[in-house]
Structure 1
Amino acid sequence: MRFKILLFCVLSFLMMSCGHSKRKSDLIANYEKHSAEIQELTSYFTKIVPKNYIVQIRYESSDEINLEVYEKLHDSLDNELLFRKWDIDIDNYIEEPQTNYEEKYHGKTNSFKLAKNKLNWTNETIEKLYNKLESVNCIGISNWKPMEIEYGNNALGVYSYKIFEKGLSEEQIKKYNDGCNNIYLEDNVVLSYSGGAIGMQCFEDYYKK
């Protein structure tokens, strides 16, 4: 019975998601329309994230976010998870004591304030970034290498743009052009699809080949 209920919930979610699902053609058309603004966005995000920090942020709305912050360890190339929270109301966040589970999997602190202080961010910074993402029809961004800008969902998966610091070499093009999860678009831009736990795992037209 529990399995049937779970299956029903998953199928219901997928059906509801279909009406808002993005497609590969949408991903390409959006880049063609906003290519200059998207490249400017990558430069802006690089400027506002301090050296030695990795930030991954996704917006549910202008004042509700999912946020992960990683801090580079001293004299190391490794990154340590500082803060990880979903569904943060940036104006009304309530810090609660960490459980052992949270300390292990959600970073060193539950303090949204500390995470912002480390980044030298304010709520206004977060709102301005939202406006820049909204202007190019995107929902999230991270400064892993390559930088990734999330465009939208297809069921449980996510379409995004991978933006490299410079144009890809022939070797990189081969690596980032498998047709399933990555498609080389131009110069320093790769289209990307990350599948969810179930359902589509590649770009939709990959299965037609």
Structure 2
Amino acid sequence: MLKKVLLGISILIGVSILIFIGWLILILSAFGGFDKDYSVSELKENFEENKTEIYELKKYFNEIVPKNRIVEIEFKDNNTLGRFGIKALDSKSLIPNKTIFLDWNLKISTAKMDSIIKPIEWSRETLKKLKEKLDKVDCIQIESGEPTKIGFKRSGMGMYSFNVFSKPIQDKLIEEYKDSCRYILVNKKFVLEYGSGALGSQCLYNFD
């Protein structure tokens, strides 16, 4: 009788462990726990390979965004925006002071999307052209402003980005971009950034 009880307990513990491992794998997958991490070297290489097109993308995007707005857009695929947001800019400080719209997982070819982008005078063709330009530089996201932030790739909830400046960074701001964790200052017009998610590394790695 005792052997049967011990056997039953052993089986129960084994099943519980398997269930726990299964849930852990599921959670890690959902939050990108198995996604690729990118090194500083890889980010620099991508930027240098696509430098001309990246500056063209920056110029084009800031031209199509209204002067009194900040727009961020991330493509999940050709048919879906992973994230889309519009903020109002303070007319004097030029600092965002109000979120007008922010949502996730928006289907592009819908009347809802048409109504969202109409106030900034965009169309589905605008989104298509922007997606093509992002694909050309192997990136997925862009946010207007100075600097223009161009999202390279996600790893789970984290995002690897290029901060692209039109003019050299002011000396008083240099220290902000030299923390060697969230930011890597490559030069006065180009800064790498890693916005960490809930899991995984909190800093860029492989400094060189």
Give TM class, smaller chain. 0.7 to 0.9
SS, match of residue 129 in structure 2: helix
Determine if the alignment matches structure 1 residue 47 to structure 2 residue 63: yes
Q: Structure 1 residue 185: deviation in Å?
A: 1.2
Q: Structure 1 residue 194: deviation in Å?
A: 0.9
Q: Structure 1 residue 150: deviation in Å?
A: 0.2
1:11 aligns with one of 14, 28, 31: 28
CA distance in 2, matches of 1:78, 1:141: 16
Task: Provide the residue aligned with 1:82 in structure 2.
Answer: 100
Could you list the runs of 5+ residues in structure 2 that have no partner in the other structure?
1-15
CA distance in 1, matches of 2:156, 2:206: 15
CA distance in 1, matches of 2:162, 2:76: 19
Task: Provide the residue aligned with 1:92 in structure 2.
Answer: 110
CA contact 1:22–1:153 (8 Å) conserved in 2: no
Supply the AA of the counterpart residue of 2:107.
D
Could you list the runs of 5+ residues in structure 1 that have no partner in the other structure?
96-111
CA contact 1:146–1:165 (8 Å) conserved in 2: yes
| TM-score scaled by length of structure 1 | 0.78
CA distance in 2, matches of 1:73, 1:146: 17
1:28 aligns with one of 44, 52, 70: 44
| TM-score scaled by length of structure 2 | 0.78
CA distance in 1, matches of 2:206, 2:53: 27
CA contact 1:168–1:187 (8 Å) conserved in 2: yes
Say which one has the larger Rg.
2
Task: Provide the residue aligned with 1:160 in structure 2.
Answer: 161
Shift in CA distance, 8/54, structure 1 to aligned 2, threshold 3 Å: same
Q: Structure 1 residue 75: deviation in Å?
A: 7.8
CA contact 1:181–1:193 (8 Å) conserved in 2: yes
SS, match of residue 54 in structure 2: helix
CA distance in 1, matches of 2:45, 2:92: 43
CA contact 1:82–1:115 (8 Å) conserved in 2: no
Structure 1 runs of 4+ with >4 Å offset: 73-78
Determine if the alignment matches structure 1 residue 118 to structure 2 residue 134: no
CA distance in 2, matches of 1:72, 1:193: 25
Task: Provide the residue aligned with 2:78 in structure 1.
Answer: 62
SS, match of residue 61 in structure 1: coil
SS, match of residue 39 in structure 1: helix
Shift in CA distance, 6/68, structure 1 to aligned 2, threshold 3 Å: farther
Q: Structure 1 residue 78: deviation in Å?
A: 5.0
1:36-65 residue CA offsets vs partner (Å, 9 max, x unmatched): 111111111110001111100000112211
CA contact 1:23–1:154 (8 Å) conserved in 2: no
Task: Provide the residue aligned with 2:3 in structure 1.
Answer: none
Shift in CA distance, 6/143, structure 1 to aligned 2, threshold 3 Å: farther
SS, match of residue 199 in structure 2: coil
Supply the AA of the counterpart residue of 2:150.
I
CA contact 2:41–2:206 (8 Å) conserved in 1: no
Query: Root-mean-square deviation (CA), in Å?
Result: 2.5
Shift in CA distance, 124/15, structure 1 to aligned 2, threshold 3 Å: same
CA distance in 2, matches of 1:145, 1:187: 13
SS, match of residue 29 in structure 1: helix
